[in-house]
Structure 1
């Protein structure tokens, strides 16, 4: 599992640089070169004394004639790369083109990419598609709010506000923030990549396993309250010796500038999904099996789990312990139902935490019928794989096949 931290924005090359430690570098380079004929340099640089990866896409003397969306689509489609990588690259490019199309009110086929270079945009998008597929980032990644910068950016259409209109369109639905830095920190390509990944905003705690930094091209100066510092300097000018005044001015000059590393930080994390729930419990010794069966139906959809556990109560009477696992906001409703249906005079309530696996579903065909397969996933690792019982039961009845045989067929 990965967490993207775009505290200094995100661009295509920053994404490649930050993620390159987690994939096969040679395979990544070869994938890009199958699409565009470029040289790729990977090196270490320092940003504010932080060592970061830097991926440079260096063009050769080739005219790609790929300034339009249609041109870029043709180049990617005609390349000899894996199908899943090709599909992802085309989807990222489509996100970028659709935003430009909407902002400029032109047909998507006529979108002309003025502000993005043709060769490096294709290289960034194909490289990002390779990384996303190799690391299974799509719909399975976290992020922190995205720094878009501030001020204006110079384009062929004139000065445009940061984030540029196409970037702002792409970032709909994602959390962003403006900073004091008058730079475009999040580019359209970077925005399209993170939009395609569709990450979740990080919540709660996690365990850091690895950290990587991907460098951008900028050196970012953060403006400070220079007027306030100037006033301090002037105050000392009025009362101290010339040597002391000079020293104060040097100190003020130092503090009037501060810098922020232009890097994308990525955490490889172990995400432990904790859930706050409540356990409701009561004992009953005078309730018939029919009532318990009906209680199960009444509570369907209102509880996470429901158990009837045989037990013995006072005077050695056979009884049942009813246990219901519910969301905190359902406690009163479920407790009231149990008391009304069973006549019990009290419910014990335990507020507890539980660790849960992520659940994902995939639909397959069996005898031309849909069967949902439920996957249990912890930290990107599949720990369980099971077909939905109701789907198999329907097929078993329809075709007269024993249920156990269908389970065997699924496993094959």
Structure 2
């Protein structure tokens, strides 16, 4: 079973606050230091100290720069560092996603292309380590599900290299699209672009505190220490047990009824929906008014993608409106395992059913590419991938496999 992390952003969120909260809740700083060496970077060190933020005791993690790193890291350089590292694949992937979100937000804020962004928030190595350390820390703690509260972005104005800006700044505002935010507390910036990009990547839902059993609590301190205000990030860490149920997240269901759309358009509509972040898309045949045959276009999406999904439905179909509702969704802990078959390799999506049982399915696209390249039947490639994974699972002592 994995673990669930709930992030309470009552005083905003930043990269160093995330890192401090993870250490405070149980992440070994010594282990984190060792694992970060996989980045093959030198010239910095992680420092830890206990501080007060208002009435709270919190952990402050600082990335102290010892030498080098006096020039900003470009997005391409960041990707290369991650690619060349020996970090776990999931940590590399999620870290890249954080930086891609940051580049897109900075690009929107300053009206430049993503590839031309010069990072202000992750311009030097300290914020880079905050991001990778936060992702790596969750991995080391065995976190499989992350949820978060609405985010307090602060109030007032901030002075930047571009002049005086309102809170939240343009990059935070862009990253907050689809995430519930509010303004409270001292007149300063409480949520940073790095913190928002981490939440956008890790959190599956935003809302009230979920039901947690035997949760550990940690506090990560921010740099600012406004008088009388507890400027810290609080996290709750709990095991996903049978008693607390399978991991649950919140998704949005967008639906509309169609009876006058050319069926040839459905494939294009579905492709567009998946391209903007839809988790699942279904076409359900129904009988509509006046006994006309029709189709319900039903789409599941994370809250962060709702605007884009609705825009595709309204632009690409004849619909004049959509129905929107939030749903709880229980999901199995899952992972990807790559197996070798004649002609290439196939990713297997593995879901943990419980009690030592699991179910595994080959990725269709991987099998299709091998079938096209080799001229072999697609069914044979998929069967070979299942057999290869079954042998791998048996060598690792699994109770069994359901596929």
- TM-score, normalised to structure 1's length? 0.59
Superposition RMSD on alpha carbons, in Å? 3.9
1:216/1:72 CA distance change after superposition, 3 Å:
same
Residue 27 (structure 2) aligned to one of 23, 26, 48: 23
1:407/1:181 CA distance change after superposition, 3 Å:
closer
Gaps of 5+ in 2: 249-283, 285-328, 365-376, 395-403
Alignment of 1:384 with 2:319, yes or no, is no
1:80/1:270 CA distance change after superposition, 3 Å:
closer
1:208/1:168 CA distance change after superposition, 3 Å:
farther
SS of 1:186's equivalent in the other structure is coil
Structure with the greater alpha carbon radius of gyration: 1
Alignment of 1:261 with 2:222, yes or no, is no
* Structure-1 residue corresponding to 2:11: 8
1:373/1:110 CA distance change after superposition, 3 Å:
closer
Aligned 8 A contact 1:16 1:124 in 2:
yes
SS of 2:191's equivalent in the other structure is coil
Alignment of 1:89 with 2:95, yes or no, is yes
CA distance in 1, matches of 2:238, 2:53: 23
| Cα distance, 1:167 vs structure 2 | 1.1
* Structure-1 residue corresponding to 2:351: 375
Alpha-carbon displacement from aligned partner over 1:25-45 (angstroms, at most 9, x marks no partner) = 223123445334212211111
1:176/1:36 CA distance change after superposition, 3 Å:
farther
Aligned 8 A contact 1:65 1:71 in 2:
no
CA distance in 2, matches of 1:215, 1:128: 14
SS of 2:153's equivalent in the other structure is strand
CA distance in 2, matches of 1:113, 1:30: 27
| Cα distance, 1:116 vs structure 2 | 4.7
* Structure-2 residue corresponding to 1:328: none
| Cα distance, 1:61 vs structure 2 | 3.4
| Cα distance, 1:104 vs structure 2 | 1.5
1:82/1:385 CA distance change after superposition, 3 Å:
closer
Alignment of structure 1 residues 322-341 onto 2, 5 Å: none
Gaps of 5+ in 1: 222-258, 276-300, 302-355
Alignment of 1:193 with 2:198, yes or no, is yes
Aligned 8 A contact 2:51 2:57 in 1:
yes
Alpha-carbon displacement from aligned partner over 1:350-406 (angstroms, at most 9, x marks no partner) = xxxxxx97425567778999997663468xxx7531357xx9xxx9x979x9xxx99
Alignment of structure 1 residues 130-145 onto 2, 5 Å: 130-137=136-143, 140-145=145-150
Alignment of 1:125 with 2:128, yes or no, is no
* Structure-2 residue corresponding to 1:359: 332
Aligned 8 A contact 2:353 2:359 in 1:
no
Alpha-carbon displacement from aligned partner over 1:303-338 (angstroms, at most 9, x marks no partner) = xxxxxxxxxxxxxxxxxxxxxxxxxxxxxxxxxxxx
Residue 165 (structure 2) aligned to one of 157, 160, 164: 160
SS of 1:359's equivalent in the other structure is coil
1:107/1:87 CA distance change after superposition, 3 Å:
same
